[in-house]
């Protein structure tokens, strides 16, 4: 039997609920002392963790990434020169902690639904405490969305969606990082202009990230109209150097990351995913909510509506 409500504890802290694969991933990721931790399932019986590991390994099912085709065709050719991007770290233990919190929220809703069904079976009116008011439902949705985004950030899910929109193989980010050595803003802008030209990026459509080390200051995108004429479209170089000429984040910036979509019509989706992934501190807008993440958020919201109907 596949157990999906596993908890682990060291006698002070209780973590979960997880399935067997998630529990094992967390245990290995945190390098827990197996002799000092216990595990418990729906039987409510705590057992020493170490002897239970073989059974957990038998139950563990490795999840399969959803196989959706890359989004859209390609109307931009990649630069001829090889460019180096930067890696995006994944924090599996932290993502699993968010996943456990999501299950707790969902369990609280399912408990109410179960008891409403039981009351109907008993031919009794469900308690008013089991009903979810509109205001409370919105709070649940906000909490779920916040936890989902945190999970996606830590697990690398948003990066998976981004890779489907960009150049290269499906498992390739297709990004380019331009480190900057200049300190003076005017000299820094000239350095950016030179490097964009050298790497054949200046006239492309796509997204750009102003960065201070690994911190994202501002994320923007070049494609602001739907003109079929390339000459009528704003470019990365134009947006970075002219559109943001007097912005205060230039003083902090010591690198710029460029991410190019295969299809320029996906640039707004790409920008939205980048904003969700990296939470830039200078952006005042959340981007156009048309991405794969927004589709998922909308689906979950509809499921919550269904779940809380009385």
118 close to 112: Cβ distance less than 8 angstroms? no
- d(CA 224, CA 205) in angstroms, rounded, equals 10
262 close to 76: Cβ distance less than 8 angstroms? yes
CA 201 to chain centre: 26
Q: How confident is the model at residue 230 (pLDDT cuts 50, 70, 90)?
A: very low
- d(CA 49, CA 243) in angstroms, rounded, equals 57
- d(CA 112, CA 118) in angstroms, rounded, equals 10
User: What backbone phi and psi angles, to 5 degrees, belong to 237?
Assistant: -60, -45
pLDDT digits over 114-137, tens only? 999 999 999 999 998 898 889 999
185 close to 251: Cβ distance less than 8 angstroms? yes
pLDDT digits over 189-205, tens only? 999 999 999 998 999 89
**Terminal-residue alpha carbon distance, the chain:** 32
Q: What percent of the chain has pLDDT over 70?
A: 89
266: Cβ contacts below 8 Å, ≥ 6 apart: 71, 72, 165
Q: Which numeric CATH code is attached to 160-290?
A: 3.40.1440.10
Mean pLDDT of all residues belonging to the chain: 90
Residue 115, classified by CB atoms within 10 Å of its CB into exposed (0-12), middle (13-18) or buried (19+), is middle
Mean pLDDT to the nearest integer, 276-299: 95
Q: What percent of the chain has pLDDT over 90?
A: 72
pLDDT digits over 57-113, tens only? 999 988 887 766 655 556 666 666 777 889 999 999 999 999 999 999 999 999 999
- CB burial readout 158-191, b (16+ within 10 A) else e: bbbbbbbbbbeeeeebbbbbbebeeeeeeebbeb
Strand, coil or helix: 219: strand
Tell whether the model's pLDDT for residue 272 goes beyond 60: yes
Measured in residues, the chain has a length of 310
- d(CA 182, CA 302) in angstroms, rounded, equals 50
Using a cut of 0.85, tell me whether the model's pTM lies above it.
yes
Strand, coil or helix: 290: coil
- d(CA 116, CA 122) in angstroms, rounded, equals 10
Greatest pairwise CA separation for the chain in angstroms? 77
């Amino acid at each position: 039997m596949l157990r999906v409500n596993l908890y682990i504890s060291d006698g002070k802290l209780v973590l979960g609920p997880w399935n067997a694969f998630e529990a094992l991933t967390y245990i290995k990721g945190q390098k827990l002392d197996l002799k000092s931790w216990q595990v418990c399932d729906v039987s409510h019986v705590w057992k020493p963790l170490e002897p239970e590991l073989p059974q957990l390994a038998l139950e563990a099912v490795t999840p399969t990434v959803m196989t959706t085709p890359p989004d859209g065709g390609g109307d931009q050719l990649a630069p001829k020169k090889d460019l180096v991007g930067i890696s995006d770290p994944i924090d599996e233990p932290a993502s699993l902690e968010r996943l456990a919190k999501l299950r707790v929220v969902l369990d609280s809703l399912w408990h109410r639904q179960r008891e409403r069904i039981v009351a109907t079976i008993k031919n009794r009116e469900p308690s008013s405490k089991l009903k979810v008011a509109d205001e409370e439902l919105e709070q649940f949705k906000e909490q779920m969305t916040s936890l989902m985004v945190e999970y996606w950030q830590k697990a690398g899910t948003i990066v998976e969606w981004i890779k489907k929109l960009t150049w290269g193989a499906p498992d390739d980010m297709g990004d380019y990082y331009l480190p900057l050595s200049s300190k003076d803003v005017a000299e820094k802008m000239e350095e950016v202009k030179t490097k964009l030209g050298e790497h054949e990026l200046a006239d492309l459509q796509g997204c750009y990230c102003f960065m201070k080390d690994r911190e994202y200051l501002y994320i923007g995108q070049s494609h602001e109209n739907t003109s079929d004429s390339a000459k009528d479209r704003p470019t990365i170089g134009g947006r970075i150097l002219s559109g943001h000429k007097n912005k205060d984040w230039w003083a902090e910036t010591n690198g710029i990351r460029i991410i190019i979509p295969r299809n320029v019509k996906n640039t707004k989706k790409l920008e939205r995913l980048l904003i969700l992934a990296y939470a830039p501190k200078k952006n005042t807008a959340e981007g156009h909510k048309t991405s794969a993440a927004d589709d998922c958020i909308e689906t979950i919201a509809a499921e919550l509506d269904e779940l809380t109907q009385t």
